[in-house]
């Protein structure tokens, strides 16, 4: 595995789930697999879960880990070519990336959407430069449009908790004070469809996601109707994808907050969210603290999904 952005990079999801269970059962089973291999984690943006769970995953595999915060303790990088670099950026990614590749075996990159330009974000400009120029296998630790380690952990969590072969999984938009990227809902929709679940995506008008990710899901606009009979409710805020409103907030409608009344419409659904979550915006205290809430098990599975992915990448290195 040379890159990790989408479910197709993993191949058969059932096989990946079996590997996840194997690691969950004995986290250090492959502690020799990463001996004398180094993971470089590069953060262009903040992180809690990804930072901790990916480090833990690498340690499960006996790897060395180097963490680099690019806007803290390191340079601001120029990303365009042909520029006379007389401003505040003292290094070009075209030098910085191959150099980073020299000192490690695998690279994880966190680089959020910037909302300057949808095409730049949706081309995964920064991540793709790492893939092209680093000379190393690269995985997304949430990039501009995808968050596959999260979606893989969500998939593991649903497989562990589902009560029917093909559960109804509802991804619903919810309000938030700031403009957020589409990375989490994009990947969640994409992975749920790849898992062959009954997938519904529901949002207010204007918040439709890129069809590349929602193809195969039912797209709706009435939250109550969507929640009916749901087995899993995945709440998440995102900003508008469609032009000319890309990256903008079109609504903060608190009627979309997930409450106990909303959950009563479902098939006693489990509640999910990738975290961090704004309580009483996205979801009430009552729902997130209920026995049906899976937010902590989901987060715990981030260690597992990352361990499976790193193990696959190490295996490919050794071939």
In contact, 115 and 178? CB cutoff 8 Å: no
Binding residues (CB under 8 A) for its own copies: these are 27-28, 31, 36, 38, 40, 43, 46-49, 51-53, 55-56, 59, 64, 66, 68-69, 72-75, 78, 81-87, 90-92, 94-96, 98-100, 102-104, 177, 275-281, 285, 288-289, 295-296, 299-300, 302-303
SS3 annotation, the chain:
CCEECCHHHHCCHHHHHHHHHHHHHCCCCCCCCCCCCEEEEEECCCCCHHHHHHHHHHHHCCCEEEEEECCCCCCCEECCCCCCCCCCCCEEHHHHHHHHHHCCCEEEEECCCCCCCHHHHHCCHHHHHHHHHCCCCEEECCCCCCCHHHHHHHHHHHHHHCCCCCCEEEEEECCCCCCCCCHHHHHHHHHHHHCCCEEEEECCCCCCCCHHHHCCCEEECCHHHHHCCCCEEEEECCCCCCCCCCCCCCCCCHHHCECHHHHCCCCCCEEECCCCCCECCCECHHHHCCCCECHHHHHHHHHHHHHHHHHHHHHHHCC
Tokens of 215: 């193809």
Nearer Cβ to its own copies, position 51 or 242?
A: 51
Nearer Cβ to its own copies, position 74 or 196?
A: 74
267: how many CB neighbours lie within 10 A of its CB?
Answer: 15
Nearer Cβ to its own copies, position 110 or 312?
A: 110
Minimum Å gap between C-beta 181 and its own copies is 13
Minimum Å gap between C-beta 219 and its own copies is 28
Nearer Cβ to its own copies, position 82 or 244?
A: 82
Minimum Å gap between C-beta 282 and its own copies is 9
Nearer Cβ to its own copies, position 64 or 228?
A: 64
Nearer Cβ to its own copies, position 3 or 38?
A: 38
Nearer Cβ to its own copies, position 193 or 304?
A: 304
């Amino acid at each position: 595995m040379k890159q990790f952005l989408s479910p197709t990079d993993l191949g058969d999801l059932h096989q990946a789930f079996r590997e996840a269970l194997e690691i969950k059962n004995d986290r250090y089973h492959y502690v020799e697999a990463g001996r004398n291999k180094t993971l470089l984690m590069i953060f262009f943006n903040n992180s809690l879960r990804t930072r901790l769970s990916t480090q833990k995953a690498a340690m499960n595999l006996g790897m060395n880990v180097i963490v680099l915060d690019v806007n803290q303790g390191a340079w601001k990088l120029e990303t365009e070519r042909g520029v006379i670099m007389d401003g505040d950026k003292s290094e070009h990614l075209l030098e910085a990336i191959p150099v980073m590749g020299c000192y490690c075996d695998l690279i994880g990159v966190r680089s959020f959407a910037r909302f300057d330009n949808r095409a730049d974000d949706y081309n995964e400009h920064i991540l793709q430069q790492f893939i092209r120029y680093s000379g190393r296998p690269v995985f997304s630790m949430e990039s501009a449009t995808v968050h596959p380690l999260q979606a893989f952990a969500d998939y593991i969590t649903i497989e562990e908790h589902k009560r029917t072969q093909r559960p109804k999984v509802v991804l619903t938009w919810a309000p938030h004070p700031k403009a957020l990227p589409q990375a989490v809902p994009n990947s969640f929709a994409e992975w749920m469809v790849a898992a062959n679940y009954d997938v519904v995506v529901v949002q207010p008008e204007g918040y439709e996601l890129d069809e590349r990710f929602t193809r195969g899901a039912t797209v709706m606009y009435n939250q109550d109707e969507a929640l009916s009979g749901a087995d899993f409710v995945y709440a998440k805020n995102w900003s508008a994808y469609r032009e000319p409103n890309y990256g903008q907030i079109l609504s903060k409608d608190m009627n979309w907050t997930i409450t106990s009344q909303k959950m009563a419409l479902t098939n006693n659904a489990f509640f999910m969210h990738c975290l961090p979550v704004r309580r009483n915006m996205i979801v009430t205290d009552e729902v997130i603290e209920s026995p049906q809430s899976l937010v902590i098990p989901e987060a715990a599975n981030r260690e597992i999904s990352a361990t499976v992915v790193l193990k696959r990448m190490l295996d490919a290195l050794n071939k």
